[in-house]
Amino acid sequence: MNDFIYTTSIEKWDTFEAVLPGFTKGNPFADYTITGYFKSSYETKTVDGFYDGNGNYIVRFMPSFEGEYQFIINGTFSSVEYNGSFSVTSPSADNHGPVRVASNLHLIYEDGTPYHSLGTTCYAWTHQSAALQEQTLKTLSENAFNKLRFCVFPKHYLYNFYEPVSYPYEGTPCDSTDLNEDNFVLFSDNNTFKGNQWDYKRFNPSHFQNFEKRIKDLRDLGIEADIILMHPYDRWGFSHMGPENEAFYLRYVLARFSAYRNVWWSLANEYDIFTHKSIADWEANAKEVYTHDPYNHLRSIHNCFEFYDFNRPWITHCSIQRLDLYKTAECTTEWRLQYKKPVVLDEIAYEGNINHAWGNISGQEMTRRFWECFVRGGYPGHGETYQHPKDLLWWSHGGTLHGESPARIKFLSEIMQQTPSNGLIPVKGEWDEVLGIADGGAYAIHYYSLFRPGFRTFSFPPDQEYEVEVIDTWNMTIEKMGPFLGKCKITLPGKEFMAIRIIKK
């Protein structure tokens, strides 16, 4: 008989876990219920549990307060009602809690620490070999990215034709005889994929155990796990499960992952490529997410050709893929005003050299888009798609980075961390600059992008000193030019990608 084991002491915003023995007859994933009830002097929460295989049921919980908690766990999974208590201690220095929406359309951690999102994308990194997954984590540890977008389901798309190391369900996949000459899937008459045999009511626990291990690995690196719940690039049939099976899947994922503080929910990658799904279908799935997540993690949905309506109340922030071939970051100010929500540019094209326009911008252009977005008060996202002899592209597989932008993004991260308040607020500047301010104008960054002024003049109050710095965003240098009183002239090198930072002393 399995033992009843549970956490007795954890930090605030960390994850309590109880492992309990239960019935295994029939289908434990579908035939039984398990629910946890948690109470302290400051909060009461009810959470769903889940079956983890081998006769084990699990309940997880993220406490939002310090102190003593009591819990009761019951359901049809067992004839026994379980109860106990545990203590919650103060959070460690690197534990700031979940990310929330702040005033001025910015993001902050729950403890009030500013969160300056610098995202990257590795869609299928958890579906690769253990060695490649570890290499991805090492690369992330050496860079400044603090948000990672990735998929629960494996991906079938260009440069992604390998089988994953595991599948989310019990069953068997199609083989190569079910693919056409372009390596894409043949459909049967009932709109399911030929050759796949899956039981959508029986999950493969090892697939999810590895996935949540990687969520925890990212948490330990200070990286938010932006979990893509569904995507259309599929040869296994997971994108055509049907509403009932999708709801069943979402509740299982929410029960497993919600108690990790670094989780975000992306309802879909490129929702509008799902031609068989309506907005009503997406709204039904969104309801499953916000109803069964007791911690109200950040939620959004990502587009290909057409934005979802980000005004929907369940959406906490805009998750945007560029619509225009050239402009994306330039529209950040407009989208902030239109939707009155934080703007996260999750896909502004990828640095690389593949034969697709979305995957062959330069490191300079990626860096420029990052700065443009940041100064306009938004949050930029990176990706990399350099050709590889084994088609191991960072954008999907992870591994190592080869581009020029990550070092510049790390430099930008240092600038962001020095920005007071929660981030920059865009205001109108000269016609050839982007201007963002903080602290009521006591801190300002003027970014010149592709323009190349040889100098700039400023008029400061005669009785107040201002520090002026010239920032070369590509060569990653900061030259102090001040302090100044009254009118001053700042000489610039007359080249692209320069910025001026002004700080009231």
How would you label 187-199 residue by residue, b for 16+ Cβ within 10 Å and e otherwise? eeeeeebbbbebe
Residue 456's pLDDT is: 96
Mean pLDDT calculated for residue range 83-89: 98
Please give the pLDDT value at position 49: 98
Check whether 187 has a pLDDT greater than 50. no
Task: Sort 250 into a burial class: Cβ within 10 Å, 0-12 / 13-18 / 19+.
Answer: buried
In angstroms, the CA 341 to CA 371 distance is: 19
Average pLDDT, the chain: 94
pLDDT at residue 188, as a whole number = 39
Whether the pLDDT of residue 185 is over 50: the answer is: no
Residue 313 burial (CB < 10 Å; 0-12/13-18/19+)? exposed
Q: d(Cα 502, Cα 460) in Å, to the nearest integer?
A: 10
Q: What is the pLDDT of residue 129?
A: 97
At 464 the pLDDT is 93
Q: What is the pLDDT of residue 194?
A: 66
Among residues 285, 310, 316, the alpha carbon closest in space to that of 98 is found at 316
Q: Place 186 in a pLDDT band, splitting at 50, 70 and 90.
A: very low
> Tokens 């369940």 identify what position?
314
Please write the tens of the pLDDT for every residue from 119-161.
999 999 999 999 999 999 999 999 999 999 999 999 998 898 8
Q: How many other CB atoms are there within 10 angstroms of residue 479's CB atom? A: 12
| Vertex 238 angle, CA 232 and 241, to 5° | 110
Q: Compute CA distances 490 → 284, 426, 436, whole Å.
A: 56, 22, 18
Would you say residue 474 has pLDDT above 60?
yes
pLDDT in the model for residue 174:
79
pLDDT reported for residue 190: 41
pLDDT at 31: 98
State what percent of residues in the chain have pLDDT above 90. Answer: 91
Burial of 459 (0-12, 13-18, 19+ CB in 10 A): exposed
CB 321 within 8 A of CB 305: no
314-370 confidence digits (pLDDT tens)? 999 999 999 998 999 999 999 999 999 999 999 999 999 999 999 999 999 999 999
The pLDDT value recorded for residue 418 is 96
Question: Would you state the pLDDT for residue 235?
Answer: 87
pLDDT tens digit sequence for 1-19: 589 999 999 999 999 999 9
pLDDT at 2: 80
Instruction: Give the mean model confidence (pLDDT) for residues 42-56.
Output: 98
**Per-residue pLDDT tens digits for 385-396:** 999 999 999 999
Residue type, 138: K
User: For 36-64, what is the mean pLDDT?
Assistant: 98
Q: Name the region of 434 (left: φ>0; alpha: ψ -120 to 50; beta: rest).
A: beta
Residue reference for tokens 């009183």: 485
- Tokens at residue 486, please? 């009254």
Mean pLDDT, rounded, for 464-488: 95
SS3 228: strand
248-283 tens-digit pLDDT: 999 999 999 999 999 999 999 999 999 999 999 999
Would you place residue 193 in the very low, low, confident or very high pLDDT band (cuts 50, 70, 90)?
low
pLDDT surpasses 90 at 94? yes
398 backbone φψ class: left, alpha, beta (φ>0; ψ -120 to 50): left
Q: 382 falls in which pLDDT band (50, 70, 90)?
A: very high
| Residue among 86, 88, 108 nearest 96 (CA) | 108
Strand partners, 274: none
What pLDDT is stored for residue 308 in this prediction? 98
